[in-house]
Structure 1
Amino acid sequence: MPILIRKSTKDENHDWSILELQGDIKSHSESNLENQFIGDLHFTKSGVPILIIGHHLLYGKEVPLEKPFVVLEKKTEDHNTEYIVKTIIRKRIIFKTRPKPIVK
């Protein structure tokens, strides 16, 4: 069975990255964090990623992936299935240092 893969024709190909956190994120209510707002991602003028979660600040770094990931969208019409390439992820943002408290 052939699998059809085509590149998206729309200009949707933004520069995607994988966000990697070393450690756990826990909420006070022990509720599920799926589809919840966790924090803000910013970049300094020199390109250093900064993640703000609550009253904590994390500094990270951007590194290329050894093997890129492809984001695909599956479309099925009249028993024909094809996959559309939405984007290719080529880098990841790693936060592996301890968070620093934001003090006023």
Structure 2
Amino acid sequence: MQIPIQISAEREGNLEEWVLLELQGDLESRTHEEMKNKFIGDLHFTKQGGIPVLIIGHHILYGKVQDLDKPFLYLRKTSDAPESHEKYMDSTLPSVSNTEYSVEAVIKKKLLFKTRPKPIIASTNYSP
């Protein structure tokens, strides 16, 4: 079975380039709710060397940029619903499904955060 994958004409030559974010360990919320589509932190890069810095709550993580051995493609699936046999008197007709995948972005690099997070401690030099 062949699965057609296409790059649309308007995206050809200028695909979005995404970056994969890799964290070691678990990422949990205090309320144990699902993390999907939630804000988890701020990503910055240092001026000297472009080292990625991820701030999550009161913790800071330092990472590094790595090239992937093989790039990933982000694909979007589009399909038409299969036609039902109930429309036809002859149930020997196969159902027809038109499934396609289009390339939305390419991922060539990853940001690797493998060190333990360090707590952010604010010092206050308050003197009345």
Note whether the superposition's TM-score is higher than 0.5: yes
* Superimposed CA distance per residue, residues 28-81 of structure 1 (whole angstroms, 9 cap, x where no aligned partner): 222222221111111122211110100111000111112211111122358432
Over alpha carbons, which structure has the higher Rg? Answer: 2
The 2-side partners of 1:3 and 1:28 are apart by 42
Match of 2:79 in 1: 76
Matched, 1:16 2:34: no
State percent identity of aligned pairs.
Answer: 53
The 1-side partners of 2:20 and 2:4 are apart by 26
May I ask how many residue pairs the two structures share in their alignment?
104
Matched, 1:33 2:51: no
Structure 1 residue runs of 5 or longer lacking an equivalent are: none
The 2-side partners of 1:2 and 1:23 are apart by 38
SS in 2 for 1:89: strand
Instruction: Map 1:1-104 to 2 at 5 A.
Output: 1-11=1-11, 13-45=15-47, 46-77=49-80, 79-104=97-122
What is the RMSD computed on CA atoms of the aligned residues?
1.9
Q: 2:68–2:109: 8 Å Cα contact kept in structure 1?
A: yes
Structure 2 residue runs of 5 or longer lacking an equivalent are: 81-95, 123-128
Q: Displacement, 1:94? A: 0.6
Comparing 49-58 with 64-73, greater Cα deviation is found at: 64-73
The 1-side partners of 2:15 and 2:43 are apart by 20
Change (3 A) 1:48 1:5: same
TM-score for both structures, normalised by structure 1 = 0.84
Comparing 24-33 with 70-79, greater Cα deviation is found at: 70-79
